[in-house]
Structure 1
Amino acid sequence: MRCSRRGSTVRRLVRPLGTTILMGVVALALVACSGSSRVRKPSDLVTVSNQFEMQTVWSTSVGSSEGFNFHPVVAGDAVYAASHRGNLVKIDLATGKKVWEASVPERLSIGPGSDGRTTVAVSTKGNVYAYDDTGKQMWKVNVSSEVLSEPIVAGGIVIVRALDNRFIGLDAQTGVRKWIYQRQQSALSLRVGYGMLAIGNEVIVTGFSGGRFGMIAIANGGLVWETPVSFPKGFSEIERLNDVTAKPSMEGDIICAVSYQGRVGCGQARTGNLLWFKDYSSYTGTAQSADLVFSSNEKSYVTAFATKDGAQVWENTQLTHRDVGESLAVGKVLLLGDAQGYVHALAQANGEMIARIRHDSNPISAAPIAVGGLILIQSQGGKISAYSPK
């Protein structure tokens, strides 16, 4: 059985021995299945007079995610995107023209990852497919587990995070395994993709189950540091679920992360030492500006905290139950999509709704991307567009 929420992979619980339990008893699952009598009604759209426009520069389609959570990735002057049915595409960033299309011979669960030279995607059977900069297949490697986390290509290494808590480093040119970093499996964890943030070609920062996040060296898979942002609490295994599933964010030398049923916190990127933390719960992660960190909870309340001390600056409840996705802080605005395909712009300073566009009728769970004066947005239906803010 597979249900969808915001177009992303169904939230499930997984035990180390492979037993899977649907999260029908967790708040996440209350909106997961359309047949549920407890489906929440999204709030009506508030009237907004756009203070700026998002003009479409180009638009194309790459194919539907079909319940999985695909993100586009930018490398150099190109955008790389994929679909569940195996369509892998390189798109010219300036024009939207498809440079090449490859047909992966299996259904995909996640992807792509790319550094502009090697582009990879992972099938539902755990096969990693790699393509060169012309769209020709280079290699195929099986990692013996399901993969729901977006792969990263950096420093000549392809980093794949498997659902069994293994991080696998593969040579980007040959697919030869370079290293493995194994995490201990928790008694119960969320069956989702865990976001990874690459910092240059040297390290990645990612969350773990049990309310922890850490930094891993790309070259050898060594753990640089690990820090708890929150701790499990409660009596039952479900109450004690406390995973940092979303991609951490970084601005300057400050890195922030948030856990489900836990806390949000910010600390020093070099050491991982937290400067502050506050009770909060989110699976859409954090976004940062120079002075603020933003996150949205399960009710789609959007909150801004002061980066220096965690003081709440504002909270916007106008998007209640609209199932907003990952956000992007750019310029003076915060951009985030919702389950009905709208993209909302909030003023970073006070949370005021200042603009809105309708990108698509399908959910938008991936964070918008700001690059070269453009804003890139991909829906779960596969529509990807470049917008120019005016």
Structure 2
Amino acid sequence: MINNTSFAKRALKRLTLFLVLGSTAVALLACSGGSRVRKPAELVAVTNQFDLAPVWSTSVGSSESFNFHPAVAGDSVYAASHRGNLAKIDLLTGKKIWEVSVPDRLSIGPGSDGRTTAVVTTKGTVYAYDDTGKPIWNVSVGSEVLTEPVVAGGVVVIRALDNRFIGLDAQTGVRKWSYQRQQAALSLRVGYGMLAIGNEVIVTGFSGGRFGMIAIANGGLVWETPISFPKGFSEIERLNDVTAKPSMDGDIICAVSYQGRVGCGQARTGNLIWFKDYSSYTGTAQSPDLVFSSNEKSHVTAFAVKDGAQAWENSQLTFRDVGEPMAVGKVVLMGDAQGYVHALSQAKGEMLARIRHDSSPITAAPIAVNGLILIQSQGGKLAAYSPK
């Protein structure tokens, strides 16, 4: 028999937490500061040591307050808006190849392998389109989805907010498998990023400070590793989720948890080489020698991949709410809440360049592909830049 009083209390706690968190972890940070004002740091003067020259730009529609990423497959970019606009764009020219209107609003961007492109509505319905933009199937997963689909190996992988992973046949939408995680008592109401490795596996974080690898073909758990453990007394203090997409370079994979730790380990086994106390909800980016992350204050830190020794920390972007980082060449790129894109030296952390993409937040990581840097803002501007 269910204890209705206990059940109601647990439900009230979860509802209260969701109201505190809002749709992103940023809301939690704002609330936790009490009356303290999180004033963004003034931009320091910088003489650009290189330029990100605009190649093309287009509008795909606003993502509102959600964190939309574009997807790249072959020579095409797939991007979407909160209102349900979905477009296939030529990577080199920015010309829209096709554009469709999804029947409902979206809370995340698309996933695509170039043959099947999938989006999920706010009501949990997955819509799939072929390479001409023709709708081929739709199916409900019965839960809200805040994580971009992964389309790989003939499977559309959906991660639902109720901790289910669902594998759908990319051509028919028929369910091939389902993997259910235990629902944590409290967890962040955000998208948990999934990193696809080839057509075989995905790596993703879980609540409770853990991350793991899941087989795309059958949904089997390959390995699971704790990177941190809950600490503190209150339920909010004990929140300890690996929400951001892990990063990978070579055979080393790194991840970071909110109110927990950052660490790196072997991709094949998940065994950690090192970890240290750190907190981030924007994730990690890697070079062969360093892993980069920013904390809730937007202080950007570099750690040595081999042993976790801190290489440098840059605090010039304090409270500018920087987004997900990307490491490319000799720089680390990340956007901020005012639409600026900052380039930091991987070696020393100094500011090397800055551009203004637009005036809306840039929360999604830039994408480096075919010599171009792709950036999508929450305002809907998608642009390609060429490093000069």
Normalised to the residue count of structure 2, the TM-score between the two structures is 0.94
Cα distance, 1:297–1:17 mapped onto 2, change above 3 Å: closer
SS in 1 for 2:27: helix
What are the superposed Cα offsets for residues 202-253 of structure 1, whole Å, 9 maximum, x if unpaired?
A: 0000000000000000000000000000011111211110000000000000
Summarize the alignment of residues 361-380 of structure 1 with structure 2, pairs less than 5 Å apart.
361-380=359-378
Q: Which residue does the alignment assign to 1:236? A: 234
Cα distance, 1:141–1:58 mapped onto 2, change above 3 Å: same
Instruction: Determine which structure has the larger helix proportion and give its number.
Output: 2
CA contact (8 A) 1:15 1:189 kept: no
Cα distance, 1:336–1:236 mapped onto 2, change above 3 Å: same
CA contact (8 A) 2:254 2:284 kept: yes
Normalised to the residue count of structure 1, the TM-score between the two structures is 0.93
1:82 corresponds to which letter in structure 2?
A
What are the superposed Cα offsets for residues 170-224 of structure 1, whole Å, 9 maximum, x if unpaired?
A: 0000000000000001110000000000000000000000000000000000000
Cα distance, 1:332–1:245 mapped onto 2, change above 3 Å: same
Distance 1:338 1:252 in 2: 28
CA contact (8 A) 1:15 1:186 kept: no
Q: Which residue does the alignment assign to 1:386? A: 384
Please state how far the C-alpha of 1:110 moved relative to its aligned partner.
1.2
The answer to which of 318-327 and 107-116 deviates more is 107-116
Please state how far the C-alpha of 1:149 moved relative to its aligned partner.
0.6
Q: Which residue does the alignment assign to 1:9? A: none
- Please, which of 328, 336, 339 is the counterpart of residue 338 of structure 1? 336
CA contact (8 A) 1:49 1:355 kept: yes
Distance 2:357 2:84 in 1: 23
Unmatched runs of 5 consecutive residues or more in structure 1:
1-13
Summarize the alignment of residues 17-28 of structure 1 with structure 2, pairs less than 5 Å apart.
19-21=15-17, 22-23=19-20, 28=26
Please state how far the C-alpha of 1:38 moved relative to its aligned partner.
4.1
Q: Which residue does the alignment assign to 2:85? A: 87
- Please, which of 347, 350, 373 is the counterpart of residue 348 of structure 2? 350
Unmatched runs of 5 consecutive residues or more in structure 2:
1-9
- Please, which of 256, 259, 267 is the counterpart of residue 257 of structure 2? 259
C-alpha RMSD of matched pairs (Å): 1.8
Cα distance, 1:52–1:108 mapped onto 2, change above 3 Å: same
What are the superposed Cα offsets for residues 358-381 of structure 1, whole Å, 9 maximum, x if unpaired?
A: 001000000000000000000000
Distance 1:297 1:173 in 2: 40
SS in 2 for 1:354: strand
2:236 corresponds to which letter in structure 1?
I
CA contact (8 A) 1:16 1:185 kept: no
CA contact (8 A) 1:112 1:119 kept: yes
CA contact (8 A) 1:207 1:247 kept: yes
- Please, which of 69, 73, 84 is the counterpart of residue 71 of structure 1? 69
Distance 2:214 2:21 in 1: 34
SS in 1 for 2:178: strand
CA contact (8 A) 1:88 1:103 kept: yes
Distance 2:12 2:113 in 1: 33
Cα distance, 1:137–1:18 mapped onto 2, change above 3 Å: farther
Distance 2:16 2:143 in 1: 15
Distance 1:119 1:20 in 2: 35
What are the superposed Cα offsets for residues 252-282 of structure 1, whole Å, 9 maximum, x if unpaired?
A: 0000000000000000000000000000000
Q: Which residue does the alignment assign to 2:191? A: 193
CA contact (8 A) 1:30 1:38 kept: no
Summarize the alignment of residues 36-115 of structure 1 with structure 2, pairs less than 5 Å apart.
38-115=36-113
SS in 2 for 1:180: strand
Q: Which residue does the alignment assign to 1:135? A: 133
Distance 1:274 1:31 in 2: 28
Cα distance, 1:88–1:311 mapped onto 2, change above 3 Å: same
Please state how far the C-alpha of 1:23 moved relative to its aligned partner.
2.1
